[in-house]
Amino acid sequence: MEAPNLATAIPDRIGAWTDGHWVAPGSHANDLPVMNPTTGQRIGTLAEADADAVAAAVDAARRRFAAGDWSRAPVDARKAVLVRIRDLMRERAEELAQLETLGTGIPITQARGRHVLRAAMNFEFFAEFISQSADRLYDQNPDYLTLVRHEPVGVAGLIAPWNAPLALATMKVAGAIAFGNSCVLKPSELTPLPFLPLMEILHDAGLPDGVVNLVNGRGPVTGQALVAHPDVDVVAFTGGTATGRLIGAAAGKGLKRVVTELGGKSANIVCADADLDRAVDAAVLAGFSNNGQQCLAGTRLLLQRTIADEFLDRFIARVRALRVGPPAETSTEIGPLISAGQLERVSGYAKVAREEGAEILTGGDPADLGGGYFFQPTVVRARSNEQRVCREEIFGPFVSVLEFEDFDEALSIANDSEFGLVAYVWTGSLAQAMRAADELRTGVVWINTPLFRELRAPFGGFKHSGVGRDGGDWSRGLFTEAKTVSIPRRDFALARLSS
Ligand code: NDP
């Protein structure tokens, strides 16, 4: 196994980053273990932030916001800091990737090639976005000029999941601070490691202390305290649908603005007229990259009946050839699941599949690598879209296959889901592609391509896959207050009362 290249030593206890310093409570009562999913061994300790620690972080964010040196800084000054953050992330990319892999089990090639690059890109994107976006001016009325300004909202509470910690958390952090907000970030308690160097990077790039604060701990303790804090103005959450409901309710109670990016059970439709070579490649990538633990995974593979057998032969052969192993090794394509609980959950779905009469075409059991939370890449042929393996998000290397007769049926099965995050369509027909774009009830439709994220465009889900969007203008909408300013254009007589 390649040795991790860790310039950042993992401290004995990982606390909170408040106002530019690491702080940990004196009491060890709420310490939590940080586990290595590859070995199942403990690799660190998290000092959980309680409500007081969360309040201290929110207070630091509020003070910095009120000081105005970031919230009212010229756009070019903010842009310069964001670009320096990007540069420092690239300089420390290997260390960030190693920590991401150590804590999540994501194969190192994917951490290097996808996650860290995307995280650095998030800062670059918002640096460019704020320097190029302009506000509107309405001059149609002959008496008035009316300007629209976008001002930062205040303090943002940002809650991120464990499956792509750096990429997803930095999308929120970069968006929040680019528009002048301060923030408090709460990553998943399972994956605190890459945020150790990230906080240093923000500091070294010249971001004023208190603009970004970080609290670590469990959702129902630390996350809940953050969302409920009265001084948090806006909440951005990525995570599971059940948690999203709680967050939405709590934010609604405090009349806070909120966006939730939640789960998915995305259809990957392969028509008989598709380029099957590309569709096979994409089905493997969409189902199994990131160890299958991604919200936008193509987990319902819908195959047109006339090509189903041929496609499945090729797909299954490729899935069986996936290299399951230690994520630090560059040859590994599938690493361990995040936790013992997740391994149990995914194993449980293999049991459910068997009980419901689905046919396990490959996999279906934990993979024995002498420890850790490994699960075999799994494909099941479902009997109908009503089966739980077609309806519920499994969040592991687990693809359910269904067949369809014609495109009407494919669209109907794809839309028959409580989720609506993304959909994939493989077809040689422009007419079918356009129908898919019209009729699929999902936030993103990928036609003849997998997993492309355009940061300028909105990203988010229909139905129970979330409320709201991020990306470009949509992030600006979330993280700013729009203000209308009207100015008379000439000295006309104003309306008067009691004249
Ligand atoms: P969870 O919903 O369990 O947790 C997400 C985050 O919310 C974690 O930081 C968690 O803390 C925190 N949290 C949990 N309960 C509460 C609460 N009551 N109040 C405040 N915060 C809370 O999701 P997972 O971490 O298990 O992530 C996997 C899920 O994320 C999947 O369903 C996946 O589909 C979804 N996801 C969605 C994406 C999208 O863009 N739509 C992208 C990636 C993932 P902790 O873990 O520390 O307890």
Answer yes or no: is pLDDT of 4 > 60.
no
The phi and psi torsions of 154 (rounded to 5 degrees) equal 145, -110
For 442, the domain range is: 267-447
Average pLDDT over residues 478-491: 97
- 65 and 203 co-located in one domain: yes
Domain-located, residue 485: no
Contact assessment for residue 356 and residue 340, using Cβ atoms and an 8 Å cutoff: no
pLDDT bucket at 162, cuts 50 / 70 / 90: very high
The confidence score (pLDDT) of residue 8 equals: 66
CA dist 266 and 392 (Å) reads 10
Domain boundary among 227, 262, 297: 262
Closest residue by Cα to residue 116 from 103, 99, 97 = 97
CATH number of domain containing 432: 3.40.309.10
57 lines ligand 1 (CB under 6 A): no
Q: What percent of the chain has pLDDT over 70?
A: 98
Last-in-domain residue among 208, 231, 262: 262
pLDDT of residue 498: 85
pLDDT of residue 6: 59
By alpha-carbon position, which residue is closest to atom 40 of ligand 1? 261
Query: Average pLDDT for residues 261-276, to the nearest whole number?
Result: 98
pLDDT, position 9: 76
How confident is the model at residue 157, as a pLDDT?
98
Ligand 1 close to Cβ of residue 219 (< 6 A): yes
Q: Measure the CA–CA gap between 439 and 296, rounded to whole angstroms.
A: 19
Query: Which tens digits make up the pLDDT trace of 169-199?
Result: 999 999 999 999 999 999 999 999 999 999 9
Within-domain flag for 287:
yes
Is there a contact between 290 and 109 (Cβ–Cβ < 8 Å)?
Answer: no
Q: Are residues 298 and 234 part of one domain?
A: no
Ligand 1 mean position to 458 CA, how many Å?
A: 20
Query: Considering the chain, what percentage of its residues have pLDDT values greater than 90?
Result: 97
Which pairing describes strands 182-186 and 212-214: parallel, antiparallel, or unpaired? parallel
Spatial contact of 207 and 81, defined as CB atoms under 8 Å apart: yes
Q: Are residues 316 and 301 in the same domain?
A: yes
- Choice among 100, 124, 189, 261 that is catalytic: 261
Quick check: is 261 catalytic?
Answer: yes
CATH number at residue 206: 3.40.605.10
Residues 281 and 258 in one domain: no
Mean pLDDT of all residues in 262-280: 98
Mean pLDDT of the chain: 97
Among 210, 239, 262, give the residue marking a domain's end: 262
β-pairing, 267-270 vs 422-426, is parallel
Classify strands 300-304 and 267-270 as parallel, antiparallel or unpaired.
parallel
Cβ burial of 329 (10 Å; 0-12, 13-18, 19+) is: middle
Q: How much is the average pLDDT of 42-62?
A: 97
Looking at the domain assignment, is residue 310 inside a domain?
yes
Q: Are residues 136 and 272 in the same domain?
A: no
Structurally, how many domains does the chain consist of?
2
Contact of 387 with 421, CB cutoff 8 Å: no
**HSE-CB of 384 using CA atoms within 13 angstroms:** 2
Average pLDDT, integer, range 426-446: 98
Residue 25 pLDDT grade (very low, low, confident, very high; cuts 50, 70, 90): confident
Q: Are residue 291 and residue 238 in the same domain, yes or no?
A: no
Centre of ligand 1 to C-alpha 89, Å, is 25
Whether residue 292 sits in one domain with residue 228: no
Could you report the per-residue pLDDT of 347-386, keeping only the tens digit for each?
999 999 999 999 999 999 999 999 999 999 999 999 999 9
The tokens describing 384, both together, are: 């109908």
Give residue 1's pLDDT band: very low, low, confident or very high (50, 70, 90): very low
**Encoding tokens for residue 240?**
């599971």
For residues 340 and 258, membership in a common domain is answered with no
CA distance 14 to 216: 8
* Mean pLDDT, residues 431-445: 98
Which atom of ligand 1 is nearest to 186's Cα? 9
Q: Which of the listed ranges 5-9, 404-408, 490-494 does the model predict with the highest average pLDDT? A: 404-408
Q: Is 238 among the domain residues?
A: yes
- Whether ligand 1 lies within 6 angstroms of the CB of 247 is answered as yes
Q: According to the model, what pLDDT value does residue 3 have?
A: 46
124, 295, 390, 403: the active-site residue: 295
Ligand 1 pocket, residue 223 CB under 6 Å: yes
Residues 187 and 305 both lie in one domain: no
| Residue 274 Cα to ligand 1 middle (Å) | 35
Judgement on whether residues 290 and 153 belong to the same structural domain of the protein: no
Write the pLDDT tens digit of every residue in 210-247: 999 999 999 999 999 999 999 999 999 999 999 999 99
Q: What atom in ligand 1 is closest to the CA of residue 395?
A: 31
Is residue 472 domain-resident?
A: no
In a domain, 339, yes or no: yes
Three-state SS at 453 = coil
Q: Does the C-beta of 224 come closer than 6 Å to ligand 1?
A: yes
The answer to whether residue 495 sits within a structural domain is no
What is the model's pLDDT at position 481?
98
Same domain, 339 and 196: no
Residues 76 and 136 occupy one common structural domain: yes
Give CA separation, 354 vs 205, 348, 350, 380, 388, in Å.
53, 10, 6, 9, 11
> Is there a domain that residue 3 lies in?
no
Please choose, from the candidates 56, 60, 62, the residue with its C-alpha nearest in 3D space to the C-alpha of residue 225: 56
Closest ligand 1 atom to Cα of 263:
34
The DSSP element (H or E) to which 420 belongs, if any, is: strand 419-420
Active site residue 295: yes
Beta carbons of 28 and 48 less than 8 angstroms apart? no
pLDDT mean over 285-299: 98
Mean pLDDT along residues 276-280: 98
